[in-house]
Structure 1
Amino acid sequence: MTVRLRGHHLLCLLTFVGEGYTPSFTRNYHDVAGRLSAGEPIEIVEGPDDICAPMLGLAEAHCRNENIGCRDSRALAAVADLLGFPLGPGSVLILDDRRLQNLRGAFALGSVRAACDECEWSALCTRIARAGFAGAVVRGAPSTCFLKS
């Protein structure tokens, strides 16, 4: 199986510490984090993904807003630049420990955070990054160097 993720969730997963929109959202995110930490591949998708799933039935779900699609595009461009290969819908990668550390380092420096503009969670993510990502749930899988576009 693969974890289906939209672009900006590649950044959100870096600082997920167990907070979220609803209890079901948070439980689901913990499940997704466990799958990623175990080395399950990520498939980049457009629109709602495995993290969004618990929110899809709610009228106020932001995952279908046009501005979220723009956030996805900005995040994918920044992450692709950092990792050195193109990313878009259909791309598959494993978040191994080396990639996770590279992403967290760039996130802490602010170089991959253009997609975080106007995000309601940005201040929390900044605090987590400044604390060295203490309490972050996602752990890098053992290095395997796997990528398919």
Structure 2
Amino acid sequence: MSVALRAHHLLCVLTYVGRGYSEAFVANYDALARRIIAGEPIRLVAGPDDICAPLLAPTASAPAHCRQPSVVERDAAARHEVAALLGRALAVGDTFTLDADTLSRLRDGFRANEIRTACVDCQWSALCTRVADTGYRDVRIVTAPTAESPAT
């Protein structure tokens, strides 16, 4: 099994502190965070992913923004910047484990504003900035398994 993530959610997992759109969203995200920490591979997808799932459910209270063109643009920006930071290509379908070194490099780049283009105009951006500025205190993904390179 793998955790399906769209590219801009690679940034979101860096600062996730247990807040979200609804209780169901947070419960789902917490479960995904535990899977990532346990070493389950991440599979890069286009469009709605495992994090989006509660927003797409028939009982979701607000219309999902997951398919909006602006979100697709966020994915493209995130994929490009994360690939440049890590020095390797990232394409839809790639799978990889978010190991401790990669997590640290991504958080350093996020905090230095090197991979934040996808965050422009995001409603969560201020929270994510505060989380990064406090050294990622209280994040739910605090450690990761051993290194494994993305499959290409």
The TM-score normalised by the length of structure 1 is 0.97
Conserved 8 A contact 2:17-2:140:
yes
Which residue in the other structure is 2:48 paired with? 48
Which residue in the other structure is 1:8 paired with? 8
Alpha carbon RMSD of aligned pairs, Å?
1.0
The residue type equivalent to 1:75 in the other structure is: A
Which residue in the other structure is 2:26 paired with? 26
The residue type equivalent to 1:96 in the other structure is: D
The residue type equivalent to 1:38 in the other structure is: A
What is the rounded CA distance, in whole Å, between the counterparts of 1:3 and 1:13 in structure 2?
A: 12
What is the rounded CA distance, in whole Å, between the counterparts of 1:45 and 1:142 in structure 2?
A: 22
Shift of 1:84: 1.1
Percent identical among aligned pairs is: 48
Q: 1:97 aligns with which of 90, 100, 111?
A: 100
SS in 1 for 2:90: coil
Shift of 1:83: 0.9
Conserved 8 A contact 2:98-2:147:
no
What is the rounded CA distance, in whole Å, between the counterparts of 2:53 and 2:148 in structure 1?
A: 28
What is the rounded CA distance, in whole Å, between the counterparts of 1:127 and 1:69 in structure 2?
A: 25
The TM-score normalised by the length of structure 2 is 0.95
The Cα offsets for residues 9-62 of structure 1, whole Å up to 9 and x where unpaired, read as 000000000000010000000000000011110000000000000000335111
Q: 1:73 aligns with which of 60, 73, 76?
A: 76
Query: Once superposed, which parts of structure 1, at least 4 consecutive aligned residues long, lie more than 3 Å away?
Result: none
Structure 1 runs not aligned, ≥5 long:
none
Q: 1:63 aligns with which of 50, 66, 76?
A: 66
SS in 2 for 1:64: coil
Conserved 8 A contact 1:95-1:140:
no
Shift of 1:138: 1.0
Conserved 8 A contact 2:14-2:107:
yes
The residue type equivalent to 2:117 in the other structure is: A
SS in 1 for 2:66: helix
Conserved 8 A contact 2:97-2:145:
no
What is the rounded CA distance, in whole Å, between the counterparts of 1:88 and 1:43 in structure 2?
A: 10
SS in 2 for 1:88: coil
The residue type equivalent to 2:138 in the other structure is: G
Conserved 8 A contact 2:101-2:147:
no
What is the rounded CA distance, in whole Å, between the counterparts of 2:39 and 2:143 in structure 1?
A: 8
Conserved 8 A contact 1:39-1:140:
no
